[in-house]
A and B are shown apart, each in its own frame.
Chain A
Amino acid sequence: MKTDVTNENNLGETKSFLSFRLGEEHFTIPVMKIMEILEVPKITKVPQSPNFLVGVINLRGAVLPVIDTRIKFGMTQMEYTINTCILVLSVEVNDETLVVGALVDSVSEVFELNESKIKPSPSIATKYRADYIAGMIQEDDHFMMVLNIDKVFSSMDLESMAESKEVKVEENK
C-alpha cells in the first residue's frame, strides 16, 4: 500500500484513514471518527437484544455498547482471534453523537490519502447497502471500501436491520 502523498492532482484534502479487515474484505474509515482501539474485554450480553448487538463493555467507567460488524454486514458471526479488536467510534446520528464499539477481525494500518483518490462506488454489483459505502479506493488490483460509519451505525438503522435481518442474510448468500 502506498502511503506517500502524490503531488499530482491535489484537488481534495489529504486525510488519514484506518483500514481493517472483516473476513477477506478490506474496509476503511477516516481516523477522525475513531476514538481508540481496544482489545476485546469481557462482554456482557443484554438479554433479548438483536444478534449484532454483542453486549456492553466497561470503557473506563462508562458503559459502551458493542456491535458485531460481521453480522451487521451479513457475514457469519465473529470468531475471536488474537487479532480481533474493538474500534471505539463516535457516530453522528440525528445531530447526536453516540459512542459505539465495533468488533472487527483485525486492524491493518493507518495511511494518508488525498480525498480525490476516493472513487465513487459502482452502483451495481455491490452486496452492501449503497448508502453505507462512501466510496472505493483502488490499490494495485484490489479495492477497499470507504465506509460511511454515521450511516452504518446509526441506531435507527439498527432497528430496521433487526427486523430485516433474515431477509438480508438471504440476499447476501
Chain B
Amino acid sequence: MEEMKDTYIQEANELLENLESSLLSLEDNPNDNSNIEQVFRVMHTLKGNSSMFGLTKIAEFVHDLETIYDKIRQGEMNLSKEILNTTLASFDHLNRIIHDSELQDPKNIENHQELIKKIHTFIQKESTATNANVTSATTMENNALRTVQVIFQPNEDLFLDGTNPLFLIADLTSLGKNCVIPHFKRVQTLDEYNPTFCITYWEVYLETKVPKEEIMDVFVFVEGNAKIEMNEFPYVNLISNREFITTVNSVIFKDALIDKVILTEQIEKVGEKVSSVTPNAKGVIVQDADAAVRIESKEKVVSSIRVASDKLDELMNLVSELVTTQASLTLYNEKNETPELEIISENIEKLSRRLRDIAFGMTLVPINNMFSRFQRLVRDMSETLGKEIQFVTEGGETELDKSIIETLTDPLMHIIRNSLDHGLEKPEDRMFLGKPRKGTVKLKAFYSGISVYIQIIDDGKGIDVEAVRNKAISKGFLKEEDVLSDKEIFDFIFFPGFSTAAVVTDISGRGVGMDVVKRNITDLKGSIVVESAVNVGTTLTIKLPLSLSIIDGLLVEIEKVNYIIPLSVVNKCYEVNNADMLHNFNKLLVLEEKQVPYINIRKEFGYQDLVEDEKSQLIVVSDGDHEVGICVDYIVGEYQAVVKPIGKYYKNQDFISGATILGDGSIALVMDTHKIVELYTEHVKMEVR
C-alpha cells in the first residue's frame, strides 16, 4: 500500500505541476478555452486518483474546485482574478495535503476549511446569478429526453457581424425532432425596410436528450448579440402531435409568442410525461465523461511512459559495458584481420554507438519543466514587491540531465529572487529612468559545444562595480591597492557573507545564498559568471557540462595507473624536466613567459617522488580563474569516459570524482582537478605552519 501511495504522490505531483502551468497560462489568457479544459481535466484526473486511493478529503476538495472550472467551461461563470488566486492557493494547499491526506496537521485543517468556504461562495454566488438569468423555472434534469422551447431573438444588427441566423437554426434542428416557428418583430412598409436589419426571430421546439448547456453552445458566438430564452418541459411526443403543432403554429409570422398558459395547457394535454428515470440517465452521462477523460489519458500514456530511474541507470551500465566490449572486439579484430569479422564488428560498433546516444538521451529532460515553476515564483513575488514584471523564457526545449535540473532549481530560484528584489526597480523609478514600466526577467537556456548555458537576464538597475569593490575592501576580502578586473570584482558576490543590499528584506539580501548558489553549481562541475552595467541590467551566466555521466577526458598515466583529466579544464600540455620541478623553491614554472604554479601529483598521491633524470608531462589546467600545472608520467590520448561513482568507501578520496572503464576492461580514475588544487593548498599551508 505504501508503494501505491508513492505512486499516487508521484502522479499527483506531476498533475499538480501540470495544473500550475495551465493555471498560470490561464492567467495570461483568461479566455483561452483549451487552458480551462486542461485545468478541468487535470483536476478531474486528480480527483479520480484520490478517490481511488480512498483519500476522500482530497477528492472532495478537488471536486469542489473542479465544479468551478466546470462552470467556467460551460460558460456559466466567468474566470475572475479572485477565482484564480483561490485556485492557486488551493494548489499550494493540495501540494501540502497530498502528504497529509488525513489532515493531521492543524494548520492544514484550518487552511482546508477556509479554502472550501471560499470555493463554495464562488459556486453559490455564481449559481444564483445564473439561475436568475435563465427564465426557466423547471428544475428538471438536463439529460433526459424532453421537449425544449428555444426562443432566439437576435438584435437587429446581427447581420452586421456576418452571422447567418439560419445556420444557427439548422444547428439547433440537428439536435433532435423539432418544429421551427419564425416570427417578425413588426410588419414593415417597403420604405422603412432596411435589408441589413434582422427583424426575424425564431421559436424552436426541440425534443432532445442534449443537455441545456450544449443547446446553448449553438449560440456561443451570438450570445452578446441576441436574446436567447430556453424553457424545458418534461414531456415528449409533442412535436409529432398534430394538435400541438397547430397550436404553436397559430402565431407564425406574428410579433407574438404563444401565450405561456395556453402552451403549458396544450403540452400537458397532449404530451406524454417523462417518467422519472432522470437520475439514472445522469449516471450514464457522467460515466461517459469519465470515459472521455480516460481515453485522453490513454493517449498520453502512449507518448510517454514512467520508468524508474534505477532501471535507466542499469540500462546505462549495460550500454557502457557494451561500448567497452565492442572496443575490445575492435581491438581483437585489428590484430587478427578477418574480413568477415570486420564487417560484423563495424556493424556492432554502429549499433552500440546509436544505442549509447539513445540511452544517454533518455535521462535528459527539457529544462521547461523547471522554467514553469519559476513563472509562479515571479507572479507571486511581483505582487508582494509591487513591481510589474514580465517573465520571459527562451530555449525551454534545451535538455539537461534530470539530476542536474533538480540540483539547479534552488540556485536558480535564488538568483531570480535576487533579480526581482534587488535588480528590478519599482515602476515609478523605471519611468523616471525612461525605461518601460514593466521590468523584464529573462531565463534563457542554450547549448554550446559540450556545455549548456543558462542565463538569467534582467533589465534592472544593475550592480555597481565600485560598490562591490568598496564592500569587498570593507569586508577585508580585498586590499585598497589591488587591481582587479570587473569580472573578478563581481565574483565577490559569491563570497560567503557578502551582500551589497542596503536593506535586508525577507526575500533576499542577507548575503547567504549566493555562496551556496556558487557551490551548488560548482558541485555540478559548472561555473557562474556575472556581467552587469549600472541601469542597464545584470546577466548571470551558468555554464554546465552537458551530462554528468559522460565526459571528454585526457587519459594520462601516473605510476602505471590510468587517470582521466576532464578535457574541459585542460588548457595546454608541456614537457618539462623533472629536475626543474624538484629543485624549485617557488614551485613556479615559467611557461611561455607566464609563471605557472605546479603540483607534483606523485607527492600528493603518496607515490614515489619524481626521478631526477627523466621528463614529465605537465598538464596545465584552469582552476577557476587561475592556471595550475599537474605533472603526469605519460599522456595516452583523448578518451570519451563514462564516469561511474567509485562508491561510499572512497568518500574521503574526493579528489577522485569517479572511475571509467577503458577499452581493455581496466579502470581509469577520473580526477577532480579543483579538489586536487585544494588538497595541494592545504598541504602547503600545513608545511608553512
Q: Footprint of B on A, CB under 8 Å?
A: 41-42, 44-49, 53, 56-58, 60-65, 67, 98, 100, 155, 158-159
Asked if A158 and B649 make an inter-chain contact with CB atoms under 8 angstroms apart, the answer reads: yes
Interface positions of B from 310 to 333, Cβ below 8 Å from A: 317-318, 320-321, 324
- Judge whether B194 is part of the interface by a CB distance below 8 angstroms: no
Total A-B pairs, Cβ < 8 A: 78
Bound-state Cα–Cα, A67 to B649, Å: 10
With known contacts A63-B645, A65-B647, A98-B647, A45–B561 Cβ distance under 8 A? yes
Q: In the complex, which residues of chain A have a beta carbon less than 8 angstroms from the beta carbon of B650?
A: 46, 49, 53, 56, 65
- Would B666 and A48 count as touching, CB distance under 8 A? no
Contacts of A49 in B (CB 8 A): 650, 652-653
Which listed residue, A48, A60, A63, A155, touches B667 by the CB 8 Å rule? A63
Q: What residues of chain A lie closer than 8 Å to B644, measured between beta carbons? A: 62-63
Size class of B's contact patch? Answer: 20 to 34
Please state if B321 and A44 are interface contacts (CB–CB under 8 Å). Answer: no
Residues of B within 8 A of A158 (CB): 649
| A53 CB to nearest B CB, Å | 6
Contact indicator A44/B666 (Cβ below 8 Å): yes
Q: Is the CB of A48 within 8 A of B606?
A: yes
- 6 A–B contacts from the bound complex (CB under 8 Å): A46-B653, A48-B652, A53-B649, A61-B661, A63-B659, A100-B647
Closest to B323 in A: A61
| Selected contact of A63 from candidates B561, B562, B606, B646, CB within 8 Å | B646
Given A44-B561, A47-B605, A61-B661, verify A155-B649 contact (CB < 8 Å): yes
Q: Is the beta-carbon distance between A58 and B606 smaller than 8 angstroms?
A: no
Q: Which residues of A contact B665 (CB under 8 A)?
A: 41-42, 58
Q: Chain A nearest CB: distance from B238 CB in Å? A: 73
B286-340 CB contacts (< 8 Å) to partner A: 317-318, 320-321, 324
Min CB distance B176 to A, Å, is 65
- Give CA–CA (A60, B661) in the complex, Å: 9
Taking CB atoms, residues of chain A closer than 8 Å to B656 are: 46-47
B585 within 8 Å of A (CB atoms): no
Q: How many Å lie between the Cα of A65 and that of B669 in the bound state?
A: 13
Q: How far is the CA of A47 from the CA of B650 in the complex (A)?
A: 10
B242 CB within 8 Å of chain A: no
Q: Which residues of A contact B667 (CB under 8 A)?
A: 42, 44, 56-58, 63
Q: Is the CB of A44 within 8 A of B649?
A: no
Name the residue in A41, A60, A158 with the highest tally of chain B Cβ atoms < 10 Å from its Cβ. Answer: A60
For the complex, is B607 an interface residue (Cβ under 8 Å from A)? yes
Q: Which of B590-636 contact A (CB under 8 A)?
A: 604-607
Chain A: CB-nearest residue to B558? A47
**Residues B321 and A61 in contact, CB atoms below 8 Å apart:** yes
The answer to whether A44 and B669 have CB atoms under 8 Å apart is yes
Min CB distance A166 to B, Å, is 17
Cβ contact within 8 Å between A48 and B653: yes
Residues of B within 8 A of A47 (CB): 561, 604-607, 653, 656
Q: Which chain B residue shows the least CB distance to A62?
A: B317
Give CA–CA (A56, B656) in the complex, Å: 12
In the bound assembly, the distance between CA atoms of A95 and B541 in angstroms comes to: 40
> B652: which A residues are within 8 A, CB to CB?
48-49, 159
A-B pairs, 6 with minimum CB distance: A61-B321, A47-B605, A44-B667, A65-B649, A63-B659, A63-B644
User: Of residues 649 to 663 in B, which have CB atoms within 8 Å of A's CB atoms?
Assistant: 649-653, 655-656, 658-659, 661
B666 touches A42 (CB 8 A): yes
A61 & B669 in contact (Cβ 8 Å cutoff): no
Task: Count chain A CB atoms within 10 A of each CB in B648, B649, B656, B659 and give the residue with the most.
Answer: B649
A residues near B320, Cβ cutoff 8 Å: 61
State A48–B562 Cα separation when bound (angstroms): 15
A131, B24: Cα distance in complex, Å: 59
State whether A61 touches B324 (Cβ < 8 A): yes
A41 to B662, CA, bound (A): 14
Contact A46 B321 (CB under 8 A): no
Q: Whole-angstrom distance between the alpha carbons of A45 and B321 in the complex?
A: 21
Write the B97-113 contact mask toward A (1 if CB under 8 angstroms, else 0). 00000000000000000
Q: Are B666 and A63 in contact (CB under 8 A)?
A: no
Say yes or no: A61-B659 contact (C-beta < 8 A), given A44-B666, A53-B650, A100-B649. no
Residues of A within 8 Å of B666, CB to CB, are 42, 44, 58
Q: How far is the CA of A63 from the CA of B646 in the complex (A)?
A: 6
Within the complex, the shortest CB–CB distance from A78 to chain B, in Å, comes to 17
Residues of B within 8 A of A48 (CB): 604-606, 652-653, 655
Q: Mark B185-205, 1 if CB is under 8 A from A, else 0.
A: 000000000000000000000
